[in-house]
Structure formats: C-alpha cells, structure tokens
Amino acid sequence: MAHTNGDSSQLQHITSQLQKLGLPDLPSHPDVLLYPQNNPVDVYRAHIIQQVQEITGAEAKVIDSALAWTLDLKHGDLVLPVPALRLKGKKPDETAKEIAEKFESPLLAKPTADKTFVRFFFEPGSLAGFTLPTIVSKKEGYGFNSSLGRKDPTDSSSPQKLVIVEYSSPNIAKEFHTGHLRSTIIGGFLVKLYERAGWKALSMNYLGDWGKQYGVLSQGFDKYGNEESLKTDAVKHLNEVYVKINQDNYAEQKPVVELKAKIDELKKLKTPPKPKKPAKGEQPKPEPEHVWTDGQEAELNDTVEQLQAKLKELEALPSIDEKARQFFRRMVDGEPEAIANWQRFRDYSIERYKDMYARLNIFFDDYSGESTVKEVDMEAAAKVMETRDLSEESEGAIVVDFAKHGKPKLGKTLVKKRDGTSLYLTRDIAANKERDDKYHFDKMIYVIASQQDTHVAQFFEILRLMSPPYSDIVAKCQHLSFGLVKDPKGQTMSTRKGTVISLADSLDDVHNYMHEVMKKNADKYAQIEDPEATADLLGISAIMVQDFSGKMVNGYNFDMERMTSFEGDTGPYLQYAHARLCSMKRRSEIPDSELPSADLSLILGAKEGIELIRTLAQWPDVVLNTLKTHEPVTVLTYLFKMSKALSSCYDAKDTANKNAKTMSVVYAESREKKVALMALYESARLVLANGMKLLGLTPVERM
C-alpha cells in the first residue's frame, strides 16, 4: 500500500479518526496500491481487503481488483462479486453469505449478501470524517493522484511518464467548424486528465497542411482572393475561396464523372456480379439469363473513347485538377514561389486557429503537420515495407494488400502514387517513428473520427508488420475514435459543398443568447464583473457539455436550443449549480479555516446530506475509472448525479418539525451547524469545480 506518497498530515488525520473508532493503523497490503491520503474510499478498501482475506484466504490483489464502485448508491458504496475471487471448493453464494456474516468493522454497516455479491455500506459518521476534511484541505487537488503518472507509482521521486495526445488536426485554410469541435475538446480533456494523474502530457496538433488541395486553393485565391480579407480573417476568407473553386472544379469534372458512371454501369451489365451464396438449407436461385448485345459493346467502347478524349482535353487546358497536381508537384520539389504561397496560407491559418483554441481553453505544445515529415524518413519506411514484402507494385503505384498478411477485411491501401508522391499514410508511418525518436514517449493517443477507422487500422497494422522499431512504437499507441457532429437536421457537414456550421459563428450565437438571459435579472447582472466574458464561458459550457453528453463513439446533431437550456443535463445547469454554491459561500461569511474542524455530526440527521457525502467520496474513483475509459461522459454523468444530490439537500425538510429546512445554511439553528453545512457545501463546490475544469469548462462565480 502506497502510504508514503502523500500528505503526511492527511495520513495523521486518518490515523486519528481510526483511533477514535478503536482501530489501529490502516492495514498494509504490500502488493496493492492504495492511496488513502488521496481517496477516502481506500480507507475502507484496506479494511475490506483485510477481512475478506482472513475469511476466504483470497489474495489481497485479487480482492482489490474485484471490489467495484456502484453506479447507484442504493446498491452499496462498494460491491464484491464473489466469483471474481476465483475460490475453489465452495459455491459463490455460500461464500457471499459467510463474508456477510463474519465481517465486523465500526467503519461499515453489516454487509449484505445478494446472491453471489457482497454489498458494503460505509458508516456515515466515519465517511464524513474522512471525506469532507480531505476535500477542504486538498481543494483543487481532491480526486487527483499524481503518483499514477510516475514510472514507479510507489516512489514520488520516480520520473514522470510522457503521453502525447494528437488531436484537432484541421486542414489549414479551412473554416474551423462544429465538426472539428469533437476532436479538439476530447483531446483537450485527455491532456488535462493525464496531467492531473501526474503524467507529463504533450498536446500535439498534426495539421493537414500538405497535398494537392493546396494547388486547388492557390488557383482559387488567384481567381477569387482578396488580400484585405485575407488579413482580416484568413481562415474564413480562404474557406470561401476553397468552396468557390471547388464548385468550378465540380462543373469542370462533371462530364468525366458522368462518363465514368456510365462505363461502370455498362461493365456491370457485361460482367454481372455472381449471385450470393444461398443461406444454409436454401436452394440456390437460378442465374438470370445474361444478354450482352453488339450494340451495348459498341456503346461501351464509344463511352470509353469519349472519356479518354475528355481527359486529354482537360489535361490540355489544363483543368483546375491538373493545375493543382502540377502546383503540388512544385511544392514537393521545393519551388520557392509555390512554397511561399503555401507557407503564407499556413501561417495565417495557425494564428486564426490559436484564437479559437484559446476561446475553448485549449493550448498546444507542438504544431506539426504532414509538411514537417522528412522525406528521408518516408523513404526509410518505404524501404522497410519493400524489404519485408509488405508493399508491392500495382499498375504503376505502390500498394499494401492486407489479404496477403492475414487481414483481408482491411483490403488494399495505396502508399505511393504512380507519379511517385507519397500519400498521408506513408507520412503517418514516418511521423510515428519521428515522434518516438524526438520525445521517447510512454504512450501516444490519436484522437481521430470514426470516418477514419479503416485508415487508422491499416496504419497500425502496417507498423506491426514492419517489425521493430516500428512495431515496438505502435504497441505504445492507441486510437480514440469518435462519432461525427452533424447539422441540426442530421446531415453530414462538408467544406467543399459549403454546408459546414462555423464554430466561431456558433460560439457568437450562443454567447449572445446567454447574454440576453443574464440581462433579464438586472440585479444579478449588475454584480457581474465582466458580463461579456461570463456569457462566453456559459456559451462554451453549453456547447462542450452537449458534446460530452454521450459516449464518444456516438455522433450527435448540433442543437442550439437544447444545449442552452437551464433545465436537464446541460452546461448552463452545471454553471448555475456552481454559481449558487459560490453565492452561498459569500453570504455565509464562514472562513475556510474553520471548515476542517467542523462538527460533522450536526449534519448527519438528514438522509440527503448523507447521500451527498457518499457521492462526494466517489469522486477519486470516478477519476480513476475515467483514466481507464477515456470517456468524458464518465465525469459528466457523475457531476450531474452529484448536482442532483446537492439539489436534494436544498429541498430537505423535517416533516416532524413544521417542515423546517434541515440543510439550510440561512436557517441553521446554531453557528456550529452553519460551519458544518458550509464544510459540506464547500466540499461540493470544490468537487464540482474540479470536475468542470477537468472537462475544460471554466466555472463561473456569478451569472
């Protein structure tokens, strides 16, 4: 047990509390990492492990792994699924009954055996004594354990582990829209999560800043660009230019697209696909009669000739697409004029993105991109793929056929075009090794949309097949996939089609809405130091909480009306809960210095107060679980649960005493009870603030 890694005064407090209950020091389990100085529940874990081990003979490590926190406190503060103890010779339900009958501790009520589960309920008085003083003393540190980020978590002097989180990664010169939001705030959340767990976290933005599309953009700027608009809002203007030139390109390429579609249809008629195999027990259906006429053959040949002629015509123009290809070739060759034009667009874009990131409370340590990957490293990666027979030539290009390497579902992927230019998959492979060479990371997380699941799976599989050092590096990598943000009607957004919702415009809209709501209460509005900044924080909270409200794999529709509601599980609701606690603290005039020594027995008469204390004690375990799931919704669900427990305290009444408000600071019958209530409510405020900050929200004190 890691007793040495924490605040010694906190451990002294725990020992003092235990001695009051007639218990000696905490039980020690050398092969189990517990941190009671950070997590009050670990005090109970230590005692449960000790007694269950004595009763059953199970290993301490196995018991610790089996003990689980419950989603609903009516099922216990901790639960032990007996089958997980892997005991032989006795039925699990009988063992559960034996544990419940023999378990004795002043820290806990008598456990209950529920079939093969043992449910443990903490004694409220001891839980309050361990939990609330820990929160008010640790403040912003409550719930977080910096030992977890050490290479040796039992040694506080051990070096920190390094995690790189690659996220956001927009294509330069494109509008930062609501579709980019998910990767950005999920990545920002992961950086904060690992930092609070003691890791060194490096925030990386791998920009889409290389490719033929910048040839398209360059032509668009020549035709539609304006220098003043570029200086005023580079990304917005370049996005408008990009949409217009793509519309021109679509019109230019439309005949080619139509001819190719016609050829595909004729080829299907000429060589129809084989019928599907019948299901087991069914008779195969007779194949339809195949008819292919001379007229159809002539039509196919004529269409192919038309396509070839049209392609030659576009090449001779040259077309927008052909000019883009030539421009990118000049970029690859390092032609100064082409590079200068591209660099200008890149620099302007990054400066504009930084403003947007700052508004979202996101900051990057490393702005890299496809353009920064070295050609020599790409060639080295290509050579390894070739020598290990991973890549092969196909119609002048270089491909990897995963079916030949035991992964047929991954299909084929292109790693080098016919003209010799590398694709972004090759760049990803080389960049992966470059990062390890530079940073020697312990873990790297790629936050990439589910649209790219196949690409990432191909990327990781190639690295595994390339053998060390590439396979060693990918073993330290993880892909975090997420669903798409769609428009309010559920349609996918597209930059080329001009159907994206600008995030800046959305933030401005929600800011204005929140500002109008705030102004409706003139008295409170007058007390806010910076109403515009507060409105912005409320708006950003609304957007981020909507995004975090479901599992990452699920997409959602960007719904302004729903996200700005003060009812239900929304950002404004959380901010209101925090602002109300701040108001209570100001009005109580109880100094923080009195809270650690509060007489907590005065607030244990109301079941609502006990439920809130039990919920607050869960916060360190919530953080620990979130490190495993990486799901922001784990934190968000907890915060809403805690806020509702808090709201129940406000409404608590003593029906036997004229419905007296038993948990009200204003109506507290003595100063001692007022101090005890403020110890509870300040603990709730600190936990709420800690959770909101972990999600990337900035808690407001007035609204």
Q: Which residues are catalytic?
A: 174, 177, 180
DSSP state of 19: H
- Per DSSP, the residues of 536-583 read HHHHHHHHHHHHHTS-TTS-EE--HHHHT-SSSS-HHHHHHHHHHHHH
Kindly state the helix (H) or strand (E) to which residue 207 belongs, with its residue range: strand 200-207
Q: What are residue 177's phi and psi, to 5 degrees?
A: -110, 175
For the chain, helix, strand, coil in percent to 5 are: 60, 10, 30
Q: Which residues contact 478 (CB under 8 A, 6 or more apart)?
A: 443, 444, 445, 446
The one-letter amino acid at 599: D
Instruction: Please choose, from the candidates 86, 89, 84, 55, the residue with its C-alpha nearest in 3D space to the C-alpha of residue 67.
Output: 84
CA neighbours closer than 13 Å in the CB half-sphere of residue 207: 23
List, in order, residues 6 or more apart from 12 with CB less than 8 Å away: none
Q: What crossing angle do the helices spanning 671-695 and 531-548 adopt, rounded to 10°?
A: 70
Q: How many CA atoms, within 13 angstroms, populate the side-chain half-sphere of residue 473?
A: 24
Contact 539, 514 (CB under 8 A): yes
Q: Which two tokens stand for residue 95?
A: 């063992």
Compute the residue count for the chain: 703
Under 8 Å between Cβ of 168 and 669: no
Tokens 């539609």: give the residue.
224
Rounded to the nearest angstrom, the gap between the alpha carbon of residue 485 and the centroid of all alpha carbons in its chain is: 14
CB 78 within 8 A of CB 69: yes
Residues 591, 289: Cα–Cα separation, whole Å: 90
Question: What does the angle CA 607 – CA 612 – CA 614 come to, to the nearest 5 degrees?
Answer: 95
Distance of alpha carbon 217 from alpha carbon 95, whole angstroms: 71
Q: What are phi and psi of 400, to 5 degrees?
A: -120, 125
| Tokens matching residue 22 | 């007639």
Contacts of 190 (CB under 8 A, 6+ apart): 165, 167, 201, 445, 447, 480, 630
Please state the φ and ψ torsions of residue 60, each to the nearest 5 degrees. Answer: -60, -40
The full 3-state SS of 490-549, as one line of letters, equals CCCCCCCCCCCCEHHHHHHHHHHHHHHHHHCCHHHHHHCCCHHHHHHHHHHHHHHHHHHC
> Tokens 């008598």 correspond to what residue?
110
Residues 41 and 621: beta-carbon distance below 8 Å: yes
Helix (H, G, I), strand (E, B) or coil at 415: strand
Neighbours of 253 (CB within 10 A): 16
Q: How far apart, in Å, are the Cα atoms of 540 and each of 34, 91, 490, 546, 572?
A: 37, 54, 21, 10, 10
Residue 247: its H or E element:
helix 234-270
